[in-house]
Amino acid sequence: MRLIVLLLACFSLTARASLEYSLEPRQIAESTWVLEGSTDNFDRANGGNIVNTGFIVTDDGVVVIDTGPSRAYGEAMRQAIGRVTDRPVTLVLLTHHHPDHVLGNQAFADVPIAALAGTRELLAQQGDAMAENLYRLVGDWMRGTEVLLPSETLEPGVREVGGHRLRLLALGGHTGADLAILDERSGVLFAGDLVFYQRALTTPNSPGLDVWQADLATLEKLPWKTLVPGHGPIARDAAPFGQMHDYLGWLDGLLKGAAARGEDMNEVIRAPIPERFARVSLNRYELIRSVSHLYPKYELTRMPRVDVAPQ
C-alpha cells in the first residue's frame, strides 16, 4: 500500500513539473526583455505558450507588455522578471483582448492593468468563452485561470514611465482595438498581433484587411529600431512588415477573386498557397479560419441589392 501511495505521489510531482513554463527572458535592447513563444498552435505540449510577451525595466519599476495565456504563465513570467531585476512591477499594458495575451492577468492583480477601452469591452464580452476554449485545448495548464479585466483605460499618446517615453498607438486592424507601444528611448516597438512573422495571421475580430494594411503603414513610419511581433521572431529590419503587407494583399485578392467568380467557401479554403508563404507556420490552418471569418463579407459585396427597384 505504501508503495502505491509513493508511486502516486511521484506521478503527481512529475505531472506538475511537466506543466511548468520554462520562460527565459532575452534582452533585446536597453532595459528591455522578451519572452518568445513558439509559432505553433495551442496544444497540451506547449501550454498555450505561442505568444511574445515582454517587459521594460524603468527607474520607477517594471512595465509588462501582455501577460500570456494562463494564470500559471503569468506567475512564471513574474518569477522570470524577478530573476532579471529586483524592481517591482508597476504597470501592465495589454495589446489586445485575445486569450494568449491576457489570461495571465491574475498574476498581476496587485498592479494597474491598462488597456484600450475597446479591449476591455471585448474581453468582457468574449473572455469567458475564450478561456473555456483554451481549457479544452491545453488542459491542466489552465488550472485556476479566470478572466481578470483591465483596471485602467488607456488613451493614445505619450506616457512617461521612469525615464522611458512610451508612445501608445490606438489602432484596430487585428481586433478593432489594438495597442502598439513604441519605447522612444530604446526604439523597441511592441506591435502586438498587428504583426505576425513567419506565422500565419489570425483574423477572428478583424474589421477589414484594408484597415490592417493602413495600421501597418502607420507602424512602419515610426522611428523604431527593434520590432517585437505578437507572434514570431524579433526583427531589426522591415522584413516582418513586408511579409505582412504581402500576405494581406494576397488574402484580400484571393477573397475578392473568389467572390467575383461565385465560389463557395469550400472552394476558397482549397486555394493553393503561394510558394513564398510555404514556410510560414500554420498557413493552411489559418487560411481556413480566415476564409470562415472574412469571406461572407466579400460575398455580400458581390450580391445585388433586392430592395432597390431597377431604374
State pLDDT tens for residues 121-178. 999 999 999 999 999 999 999 999 999 999 999 999 999 999 999 999 999 999 999 9
Q: What is the pLDDT of residue 19?
A: 86
Distance CA 23, CA 14 (A): 19
Residue 213 has pLDDT above 70, yes or no: yes
| Cα-based distances in Å from 265 to 64, 132, 135, 206, 237 | 40, 27, 29, 18, 36
Which cell is 298 given? 466579400
Largest CA distance in the chain: 89
The reported pLDDT for the residue numbered 5 is 38
Q: How far apart (Å, rounded) are the C-alpha atoms in residues 255 and 88? A: 48
Average pLDDT of every residue of the chain: 93
Contact between residue 229 and residue 51 where contact means Cβ atoms under 8 Å apart: no
pTM, full prediction: 0.92
| Pairwise pLDDT comparison (105 vs 10), residue with the higher score | 105
Task: Return phi, psi of residue 6, to 5°.
Answer: -65, -45
Per-residue pLDDT, averaged over 255-271, amounts to 96
DSSP 8-state code for residue 34? E
Task: Look at residues 122, 117, 93 and name the one whose alpha carbon lies nearest to residue 105.
Answer: 93
User: What's the mean pLDDT in 231-241?
Assistant: 98
Find, among 295, 294, 229, the residue nearest to 260 by Cα. 295
Task: Give me the pLDDT at residue 302, please.
Answer: 80
Contacts of 175 (CB under 8 A, 6+ apart): 96, 97, 98, 118, 119, 122, 193, 205, 206
Query: What is the mean pLDDT of the segment spanning 71-88?
Result: 98
The reported pLDDT for the residue numbered 10 is: 40
- pLDDT (0 to 100) of residue 243: 98
The Cα 158–Cα 179 span in angstroms is 13
The helix (run of H) or strand (run of E) holding residue 286 is: helix 283-302
3-state secondary structure of 234: coil
122, 93 in Cβ contact below 8 A? no
**Percent of the chain predicted with pLDDT > 90:** 90
Q: Which residue has the higher pLDDT, 7 or 154?
A: 154
Q: Is the pLDDT of residue 304 over 70?
A: no
Q: Is 114 helix (H, G, I), strand (E, B) or coil?
A: strand
Handedness of CA 223, 225, 230, 232 (dihedral sign): positive
User: What domains can you pick out in the chain, each with its CATH number?
Assistant: 21-239 (3.60.15.10)
At residue 301 the predicted structure's pLDDT band, cuts being 50, 70 and 90, is confident
pLDDT digits (tens, 9 = 90+) for 9-49: 443 434 444 789 999 999 999 999 999 999 999 999 999 99
Count, residues in the chain: 311
pLDDT exceeds 50 at position 4: no
pLDDT at 141: 97
pLDDT of res. 305: 53
**Structure confidence at residue 308 as a pLDDT band (50, 70, 90):** low
Residue 16 is predicted with a pLDDT of: 46
Model pLDDT, residue 182: 98
C-alpha 116/C-alpha 156 separation (Å) is 8
